[in-house]
Structure 1
Amino acid sequence: MAASIETLLSEISTVENPVEGLQTLKTALYSVPVSTLRDSVSGQRLGAIFSFLHSNSREQVELCVDILERILMALSPVHLAHNYRAELQGGVKHNSEAVKILALTQIGRIVEHPDAVTEILDNNDLLCAVIHSIGEENISVAKQAIQSLSKLSNSKAGLDKLFQCDILNTIKEVMAVSDIVRYRIYELVVEISSFSPISFGYCVNSGLISQLLGELTGDDVLIRVTAVEMVTNLAQSLHGRQFLTHHGVMNQISNMIRGAETDPFSSLYLPGLVKFFGNVAIMDSPQQVCETYPAFQNKVFEMALGSDPAMIGVALDTLGLLGSTIEGKQVLQKTGENFKAVLVRMSHIASTGTTELRVRSLEAISQLFTLQPEQQTEDLLALIESWFQLLSKQPMDMIHKISTQPFPELHCCALHIFTAIASQPWGQRLMMSTPGFMEFVLDRSTSQTKDAKDAKFELVGALVSSSSSTEILGSQNCLRLKTYLREGPYYVTAVAAVGTEGAN
């Protein structure tokens, strides 16, 4: 087969019917693994196939793309850089989006290789063509260009090149195409910023970070919404958060939360502001963030107790995020009656809200109630038990009732709450005192979907792995649970067929 591929490649320029010849070549190429193609294609020139790209025949262009994709992946980045740089540059400027994506993908491979990247660094025209691709209407082309430039920025040489004056001017020219394209550039800059403090320094010195932060207070609300999302991504790194704090951006966002009450358009960007602080809190310190920026925590409680479903959903997600850490649980508990009111509201939503909000509320509750074995101090166990009792007069019955409703996602969420308390002694005692609960756990027929079977299996595993389970659940129940665990989540009991003698 290798010989026939070499022959087909050498003769492709002379075929009378290009489409037919290309189809034959494609069939041959896809009949062998990519790993075995390198020896067959590395000595061949692909000029004819690249020339076939300049056609009005869509079928011909698509065949060429399929063939080149297969062949170029078999070639090393160094080989590509030395032999097909001009062809790839032409591909970036091609009319076909598929050709552009093919070329940008291969350029991405080249810039990742230390011995090949210089071919790109020394070619301003090619680099500018990639930058201009970010302004393409097709989002897939733009994303591939962003990805390739992001890879280029992983080296100091790449950073030096990308942020030198003339290339930076090209970037700013592309930013001026439209609001959408400007935010694609911001996306690239934020991604580069996350790599290291050094790469972040390049982005700051370029002025693009300051320009992004200026968008937070712009007149266009929709632009402000996107800016908040970008700044949230910027805060994912420690050096990013330190910069935002040092330059007063944290205070600025806190003030935006405070001022949201008087802004009729705040519902558009307020969820983003709350998510921003929620992410920062979980990465740094829930206590520090909530104490330094009290407007954040107050707004979360206000949103949870409000009537806007969109705001309620964001508040539920944020409460679950905060409550997933011990420090976050303690911060919430310190608010006293305020959090109790929120927890009661969460319970009400879990029972009577829309399906989406019920799911988000139940998941948040399971995060609030989760304690790892090493976290189970006497005080924390008592805290979680007191929270659980706030859900309802009969919280076990309430959660069990939700688990029996004909909504698979609610069933799984209810099981997640049972799993959260399953490793805690008070939770096990509550389970044992609830009539029929252990039978419910061991009954495989109550969980029909794969997700439900997995959730039930996780619950059984939490019970079995607890050090207090044998004492509280009893050896007989533990033996049955261990059998369930050993059989796996998808075990089905075999039922023997019974026939009637003489029946036809």
Structure 2
Amino acid sequence: MTSVADAARYFLSGPQVPEAARLLLSSHSLVALCEALSSAPAADFEPLVETLECLANFQEVHAELLKPDIVRFLLEGSGSPAARIRRLVARVLMGLSCTEASVEGLARAGLFDACERLLLDEETDTAETAMQALRGAVSFPAGRDFVLGGDANLVTRLRQNAQTVGDVQRIRILALGVELGRASAEAFTALETAGAFKDVLDAFITDDILLKLNAVELMEALGSYPAGQKFVSQQGVPERLARELTDPLNDDSVRLCVTQLLGRVLLRTPDLASTLLSGRDTPLAQAVASALDSRDVAFRLCGLNTWADISTSPGGLAFFLQWPTVIEKVVAYVSSATHETCMGATAAWTSVLRPLQPEGAVWDVAEKEVLPVALRNIVNKPFSDVRAQTWLLLSVLVKSRRAAQVILVSDAMRENMMDFSSETNHHAKIAKHEFITSLTKWHAGWIGAFLDDKVELLLQEYAKQGPNWQPFDAVPIVGKGTG
């Protein structure tokens, strides 16, 4: 009979599919695999570990993994001196956290205690895997009850121990709250009530420079999903964050984090612009202007993204339209020779203009200054991602009749429009199609004054058929006189 280790090697040598798992377990049980691992020589150790990790991904195996002998192995393994065994346990628990039935089994078996232990593991990969297991678990009632319910729940215990563990483990505990809040609205509410997000904020707004630097990613993560954005938009949090921009002890990563975070705050809560942007000398206004003026690409992108977030509200847009040097920078960066800056500026203008009707001061800037640069980029820039983003910008600009007229009298632009093989990249094809669709949607009644009838029909057919459509025969581009 084939040894357990050899059977594991055979399983790993082929596709890890349910049929292969059934074949393996028909000859060697999970208990046999665990027992073999407990006494395995070095040559057999890794194949057995990898096999158990793979099996945990099959839902039909989950019931077996929750039987007493395997549960005992997992609980003991979570405290094993062997880092590889602890990582194995974490990965098995993560596999078990993806269905409601398995999460209920985890709770009954007491395996969340193993997750708690592994979250504080010295091995980063093991700890992060345990965090993913808990994040999956709180998507289900049984997981939320154990992790967040009652006075002595897992999160409460971890928060109580946060001051007695090392800095790395403390940051992990804070990160757990952020990720659980991302996974479940109910979990977010419970964590907010318990003060978990206040803990994150206090770790960031502190005189402990090392702790603050470690908390930067936590604040970025908290501000990356709607419930977290709501939290940082209320109860005086934005004002506290804005004051961080003036602290000379804060390094670049802190300033970048706060600037971007406040941009998201204003995107969600535009009324705060009257406080955070009461004048050009306010910390946030100065931070945006400074970021745009920087030679560092990361700062420029931060400035562009924050400008766009703020300018999606009428008040924020009006504020920047009265600041010529900022607008000049944001326009100029559309033609930047730096790839990332060009992309960032083009995307920023797209997001600001997309929800607006083509009227007012911002459209004057867009038509007179942004449009000519976008047209040059389509003609001169070969990079597929820049072209895709530029077509998207043009699909927004073309809402304006004046912009559409400028586009249609451009020989180079008409050639690009009618070259149905001009884009080879998937995203660029879709973006170009969006532009043509917008053109024919907004201006179907008059574009025939600029195009030959056959060309107009081709564009309408292209808009109807989709980005991969091409005509059977080439049609010459004929522009009509414009009077």
Instruction: Give the TM-score taking structure 2 as reference length.
Output: 0.80
Residue 80 in 1 paired to residue 65 in 2? yes
CA distance in 2, matches of 1:245, 1:483: 47
- Which shows bigger deviation, 304-313 or 96-105? 96-105
- State which of 348, 363, 387 in structure 1 corresponds to 2:332: 348
Alignment of 1:76-475 (within 5 A): 76-83=61-68, 84-94=70-80, 99-111=85-97, 113-122=99-108, 126-155=111-140, 158-162=143-147, 164-165=151-152, 167=154, 168-169=156-157, 172-173=160-161, 176-194=164-182, 199-200=187-188, 202-204=190-192, 206=194, 208-235=196-223, 244=232, 247-257=235-245, 259-260=246-247, 263-282=248-267, 284-286=268-270, 288-294=271-277, 295=282, 298-309=285-296, 310-323=298-311, 325=312, 328-329=313-314, 331-338=316-323, 340-371=324-355, 376=357, 380-391=358-369, 395-396=371-372, 398-403=373-378, 404-444=380-420, 446-464=422-440, 466-474=441-449, 475=453
Cα deviations by residue, 1:17-73 (Å, 9 ceiling, x for unpaired): x5434334556xx56841685598489732221122235645522322343345441
CA distance in 2, matches of 1:23, 1:90: 25
CA distance in 2, matches of 1:118, 1:196: 17
Contact 2:266 2:272 in 1 (8 A): yes
| 3-state secondary structure, aligned to 2:29 | coil
| 3-state secondary structure, aligned to 2:218 | helix
CA distance in 2, matches of 1:444, 1:155: 49
Report deviation, 1:332.
Answer: 0.9
Cα deviations by residue, 1:359-398 (Å, 9 ceiling, x for unpaired): 2112212222324xxx53xxx4344430214527xx42x3
| 3-state secondary structure, aligned to 1:53 | helix
| 3-state secondary structure, aligned to 2:446 | helix
Q: Mind listing any 5+ residue stretches in structure 2 that lack a counterpart?
A: 474-483
Contact 1:362 1:417 in 2 (8 A): yes
Paired amino acid for 1:81: L
Classify 1:221/1:19 alpha carbon distance in 2 versus 1 (closer, same or farther; 3 Å). same
Contact 1:412 1:452 in 2 (8 A): yes
Report deviation, 1:214.
Answer: 1.8
Paired amino acid for 1:186: L
Cα deviations by residue, 1:310-353 (Å, 9 ceiling, x for unpaired): 32220101222344x4xx25531354431x43222122223245
| 3-state secondary structure, aligned to 1:75 | helix
CA distance in 1, matches of 2:63, 2:387: 54
Instruction: Give the TM-score taking structure 1 as reference length.
Output: 0.77
Contact 2:103 2:140 in 1 (8 A): no
Classify 1:304/1:416 alpha carbon distance in 2 versus 1 (closer, same or farther; 3 Å). farther
CA RMSD of aligned residues (A): 3.7
| 3-state secondary structure, aligned to 1:391 | helix
CA distance in 2, matches of 1:174, 1:58: 37
| 3-state secondary structure, aligned to 2:294 | coil
Q: How many residues align?
A: 459
Report deviation, 1:185.
Answer: 1.6
CA distance in 2, matches of 1:242, 1:409: 32
Paired amino acid for 1:88: L
Give 1:479's aligned residue: 457
Classify 1:391/1:249 alpha carbon distance in 2 versus 1 (closer, same or farther; 3 Å). same
CA distance in 2, matches of 1:69, 1:254: 46
CA distance in 1, matches of 2:188, 2:435: 44
Q: Mind listing any 5+ residue stretches in structure 1 that lack a counterpart?
A: 1-10, 496-504
Identity of aligned residues (%): 18
Report deviation, 1:132.
Answer: 2.5
Report deviation, 1:203.
Answer: 2.8
CA distance in 1, matches of 2:220, 2:447: 46
Contact 2:11 2:20 in 1 (8 A): no
Paired amino acid for 1:386: D
Contact 1:187 1:230 in 2 (8 A): yes
| 3-state secondary structure, aligned to 2:121 | coil
Report deviation, 1:356.
Answer: 1.9
CA distance in 1, matches of 2:303, 2:472: 47
Contact 1:457 1:489 in 2 (8 A): yes
Paired amino acid for 1:468: H
Give 1:5's aligned residue: none
| 3-state secondary structure, aligned to 1:455 | helix
Give 1:60's aligned residue: 44
Contact 2:30 2:65 in 1 (8 A): no
- Which shows bigger deviation, 298-307 or 423-432? 298-307
